[in-house]
């Protein structure tokens, strides 16, 4: 990752040219004679109201009824008005307990809305022929290492991962020589979002070993921010995991913002998440499901359902996908809390750590291949007998 990168060639759109063409169009419209006879009266603006259809047994689809215009008299029979049905977006009840500083339902709905707003998809590899999944894994492994060196929080590292993946989804055919620059820029942006005292830009340039300078990072920062449309606050797998852990360990009368869960168990799950997100196939799952599936391997599904509201049908594919990663980590000694200078003991579990994730990822992916071949093998399932070919058929005596 220490190759010298040139100036980044990604350029923003020329907005001045668009403004000039718009101005010319407006001038032409002013010169054209207006034909008042062709003007049609504008239709009256329609308004709608949502009719509650909530039943005691649970939620049911609402009915969107077109309301009459204010100038019209409200008819007694509404059967002539159009009705629109739509599916409820928030079918999962909020697992968050009552909060003194906010509505738990509002907090939960906002988190669910972010799952729809922030889209990630591994298909962006098709837009970048020169990029391989291994390159992304190497970059994330390096970002985790840089995060540990500067004692950055796990949320910072996961925000950088999210920024990188979503930025690449907006681009086409990015040269692999710019991946390190984009990655360190994503971490620079994430640190300014999450950290109280983020490292300076020259410190991020320093860790690239001369591959990127401060000018490169600052210029790329503007490009990344514009591409992401300044949407910088997704719910990452770490934020979902912390919510699940806190809800599971929460006791009545305690402050919900003060962590109550076990730090030792928490770092076991975060280590599993670190390994999983390095595989680009993790982008096939939403962050909430990815965190719930990892949590499920350290608890029961009844607990996972209680803290997430997710059904087994939605979590099961991810739980099975994570199994090779769990088996790989079982071969290692149990993860232990690390001590960092100037980091309080009750905050150590929040600092991003790094181990030899690349080696572990190779082992986990080999297990995935073996598991897939085992599932496809006719020996592992009831064989479907097929007739032999004509050359293999025995001759009748």
DSSP-derived secondary structure letter, 153: B
Three-class secondary structure of residue 282 per DSSP = helix
Q: Name the pairing type of β-strands 62-67 and 83-86.
A: antiparallel
Quick one: three-class SS letters along 305-372? HHHHCCCHHHHHHHHHHHHHHHHHHHCCCCCCCCCCCCCCHHHHHHECCCCCHHHHHHHHHHHHHHHH
First to last CA, the chain: 72
Q: What is the mean pLDDT of the chain?
A: 79
**Is the pLDDT confidence value at 8 over 70?**
no
pLDDT bucket at 388, cuts 50 / 70 / 90: very low
Q: Which element (helix H / strand E) includes 138?
A: helix 133-149
User: Between the ranges 50-54, 60-64, 269-273, where is the mean pLDDT highest?
Assistant: 269-273
- The tens digit of pLDDT for each residue in 238-250 reads 999 999 999 998 8
Q: Do 119-227 and 236-376 share a fold?
A: yes
Residue 59 has pLDDT above 80, yes or no: no
The CATH class for the domain spanning 236-376 reads mainly alpha
Distance of CA 156 to the CA centre of its chain: 14
pLDDT beyond 50 at 187: yes
CATH class of domain segment(s) 119-227: mainly alpha
Q: Which segment of 73-87, 270-284, 287-301 scores lowest on mean pLDDT?
A: 73-87
DSSP 3-state assignment of 292? Answer: helix
Residue spans of the domains in the chain: they are 119-227, 236-376
Residue pair 152/210 in contact by the 8 Å Cβ criterion? no
User: Could you tell me which residue, 71 or 96, shows the higher pLDDT?
Assistant: 96
Query: Residue 81 in 3-state DSSP?
Result: coil
Q: What pLDDT score does 44 carry?
A: 44
State the Cα–Cα distance between residues 220 and 186, nearest whole angstrom: 9
Q: What is the pLDDT of residues 329-380, one digit of tens each?
A: 999 999 999 999 889 998 999 999 999 999 999 999 999 887 766 554 444 3
């Amino acid at each position: 990752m220490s190759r010298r990168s040139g100036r980044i060639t990604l350029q923003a759109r020329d907005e001045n040219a668009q403004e000039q063409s718009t101005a010319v169009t407006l001038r032409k419209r002013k010169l054209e004679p207006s034909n008042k006879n062709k003007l049609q009266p504008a239709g009256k603006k329609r308004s709608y109201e949502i009719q509650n259809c909530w039943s005691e047994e649970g939620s049911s689809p609402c009915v969107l009824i077109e309301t009459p215009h204010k100038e019209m008299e409200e008819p007694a029979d509404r059967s002539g008005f159009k009705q629109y049905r739509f599916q409820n977006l928030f079918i999962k009840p909020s697992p968050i307990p009552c909060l003194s500083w906010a509505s738990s339902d509002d907090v939960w709905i906002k988190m669910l809305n972010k799952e729809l707003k922030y889209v990630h998809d591994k298909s962006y590899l098709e837009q970048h022929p020169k990029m391989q999944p291994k390159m992304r894994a190497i970059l994330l492994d390096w970002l985790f290492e840089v995060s540990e060196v500067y004692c950055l929080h796990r949320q910072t590292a996961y925000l950088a991962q999210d920024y990188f993946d979503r930025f690449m989804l907006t681009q086409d055919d990015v040269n692999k020589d710019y991946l390190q620059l984009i990655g360190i820029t994503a971490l620079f942006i994430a640190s300014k979002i999450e950290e109280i005292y983020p490292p300076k830009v020259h410190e991020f340039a320093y860790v690239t070993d001369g591959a990127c300078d401060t000018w490169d990072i600052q210029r790329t920062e503007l490009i990344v921010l514009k591409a992401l449309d300044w949407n910088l606050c997704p719910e990452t797998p770490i934020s979902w995991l912390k919510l699940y852990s806190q809800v599971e360990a929460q006791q009545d009368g305690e402050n919900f913002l003060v962590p109550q869960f076990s730090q030792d168990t928490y770092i076991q799950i975060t280590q599993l998440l670190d390994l999983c997100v390095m595989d680009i196939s993790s982008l096939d799952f939403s962050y909430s499901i990815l965190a719930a599936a990892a949590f499920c391997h350290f608890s029961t599904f009844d607990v996972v359902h209680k803290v997430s509201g997710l059904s087994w049908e939605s979590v099961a594919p991810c739980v099975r996908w994570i199994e090779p990663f769990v088996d790989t980590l079982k071969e290692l000694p149990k993860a232990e809390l690390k001590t960092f200078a100037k980091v309080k003991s009750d905050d150590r579990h929040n600092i991003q750590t790094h181990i030899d994730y690349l080696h572990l990822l190779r082992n986990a992916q080999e297990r995935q291949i073996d598991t897939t071949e085992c599932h496809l093998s006719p020996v592992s399932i009831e064989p479907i007998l097929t007739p032999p070919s004509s050359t293999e058929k025995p001759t009748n005596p």
